[in-house]
């Protein structure tokens, strides 16, 4: 058994698999090797993993409740008892920053789940079917891309009303056009390929070809774009929270904390500084990881 396992690992490591399963593992192993060779990508991966862990274990990591007020310790500067200081209500800023990771992860996941599949299906259908369907979908996409994303999100959330869930819907409604462009470009390159022609000759329907054959081939490029796009999603969500249109006080969301802290930049700089640093590092992590994944998943990209 040990010899078989050792032989399988050796085939995976050397890129000489003997089965489809080993081929997939060999591809994953090669991707990990490329990721390890990029310090920037590893740094981004570490930051994203830290975000996940902090969000999952926020109640255990936070020294205090993020909503507990203590007016006798308002705007206490950073100290051993409160490493990030306290805010205008005496709430521990470190606890609020830690719990803010949950809001960020919640926003990122929901926007990705809503926007990416819509853009993928529309783009893959447009690129494969062509004709008037392609023209119609792309003109709608061009109209959506004509507006700055933040301005369009502001318009949607103003219509829906302030609130975290409405902000997520607004961000998702503005986030699908780039995915359409990427999926369409991938579908156009494979539409006339021998692989798709063989599937068509076998009698597969257009719907089956799009869902089973075209969409999976678009996923690597889409995943890279989605990773890079998450930094913009976080910034827009924080901007909406800062303007009072996203998460509402007393939510421990980083944009809300920035909004509250702007009034105390001189007397309590730490109230806004630490949430701002959290936004900066998480956005940087997504960008670094996205660049690394582009090098791994896109064979046409030269490092």
pLDDT digits (tens, 9 = 90+) for 160-211: 888 999 999 999 999 999 999 999 988 888 888 888 888 888 888 888 888 8
Separation between Cα atoms, residue 172 and residue 163, nearest integer Å: 14
Of the candidates 31, 36, 7, which has an alpha carbon nearest to the alpha carbon of residue 19? 7
At 108 the pLDDT is 92
What mean pLDDT comes out for the span 64-88?
91
Tell me, what's the pLDDT at 11?
65
8 has a pLDDT exceeding 70: no
Q: How far apart are the first and last CA of the chain?
A: 40
3-class state of residue 287 by DSSP: helix
Residue range 19-43: average pLDDT? 75
Q: What is the C-alpha to C-alpha distance for residues 296 and 303, in angstroms, rounded to an integer?
A: 9
Instruction: Give the number of other CB atoms < 10 A from CB of residue 2.
Output: 6
Nearest to 250 by CA among 108, 67, 57, 75: 67
Quote the pLDDT of residue 301: 47
Q: Are 239 and 253 in contact (CB under 8 A)?
A: no
Residue 299 has pLDDT above 60, yes or no: no
Among residues 223, 190, 217, which one has the least CA distance to residue 116? Answer: 223
Average pLDDT over residues 41-52: 92
Cis omega before residue 193 (within 30°)? no
Which DSSP letter does residue 264 get? G
- Of 35-39, 63-67, 136-140, 230-234, give the lowest mean pLDDT range: 35-39
Residue percentage of the chain with pLDDT more than 90: 47
Mean of the per-residue pLDDT values for the chain? 86
* Arithmetic mean of pLDDT, 87-112: 93
**Domain segments of the chain as ranges:** 1-37, 40-297
Tell me what percent of the residues of the chain surpass a pLDDT of 70.
89
Residue 289 pLDDT > 80:
yes
The pTM of this model reads: 0.86
40-297 is a CATH 1.10.3720.10 domain: yes
Comparing 34-38, 49-53, 286-290, which segment has the lowest mean pLDDT? Answer: 34-38
Please state which of the ranges 33-37, 43-47, 79-83, 298-302 shows the lowest mean pLDDT: 298-302
pLDDT range class, residue 293, cuts 50, 70, 90: confident
Q: What is the mean pLDDT of residues 58-66?
A: 92
Task: Report pLDDT for 102.
Answer: 94
The answer to whether the beta carbons of residues 207 and 197 sit under 8 Å apart is no
- pLDDT value at position 3? 42
Mean pLDDT of 105-116: 92
Instruction: Report, as an integer, the average pLDDT of 268-281.
Output: 94
pLDDT at 46: 93
């Amino acid at each position: 058994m040990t010899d078989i396992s050792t032989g399988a690992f050796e085939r995976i490591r050397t890129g000489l698999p003997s089965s489809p399963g080993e081929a997939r593992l060999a591809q994953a192993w090669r991707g990990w090797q490329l990721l390890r060779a990029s310090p920037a990508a590893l740094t981004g991966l570490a930051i994203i993993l830290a975000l996940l862990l902090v969000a999952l274990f926020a109640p255990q990591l936070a020294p205090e409740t993020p909503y507990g007020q203590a007016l006798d310790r308002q705007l206490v500067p950073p100290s051993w008892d409160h490493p990030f200081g306290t805010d205008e209500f005496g709430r521990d800023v470190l606890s609020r920053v830690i719990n803010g990771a949950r809001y960020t992860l919640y926003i990122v996941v929901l926007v990705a789940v809503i926007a990416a599949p819509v853009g993928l299906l529309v783009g893959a259908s447009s690129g494969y079917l062509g004709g008037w369907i392609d023209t119609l979908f792309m003109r709608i996409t061009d109209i959506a891309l004509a507006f700055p994303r933040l301005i369009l999100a502001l318009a949607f959330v103003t219509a829906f009303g302030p609130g975290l869930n409405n902000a997520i819907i607004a961000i998702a409604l503005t986030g699908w056009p780039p995915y359409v462009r990427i999926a369409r470009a991938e579908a156009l390159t494979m539409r006339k390929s021998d692989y798709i022609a063989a599937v068509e000759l076998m009698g597969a329907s257009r719907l089956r070809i799009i869902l089973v054959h075209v969409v999976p081939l678009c996923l690597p490029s889409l995943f890279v774009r989605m990773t890079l796009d998450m930094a913009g999603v976080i910034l827009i969500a924080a901007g909406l929270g800062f303007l009072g249109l996203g998460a509402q006080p007393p939510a421990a969301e980083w944009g809300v904390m920035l909004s509250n802290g702007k009034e105390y930049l001189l007397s309590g700089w730490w109230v806004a500084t630490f949430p701002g640093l959290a936004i900066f590092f998480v956005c940087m992590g997504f960008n670094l990881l996205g660049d690394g994944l582009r090098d791994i998943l896109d064979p046409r990209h030269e490092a």
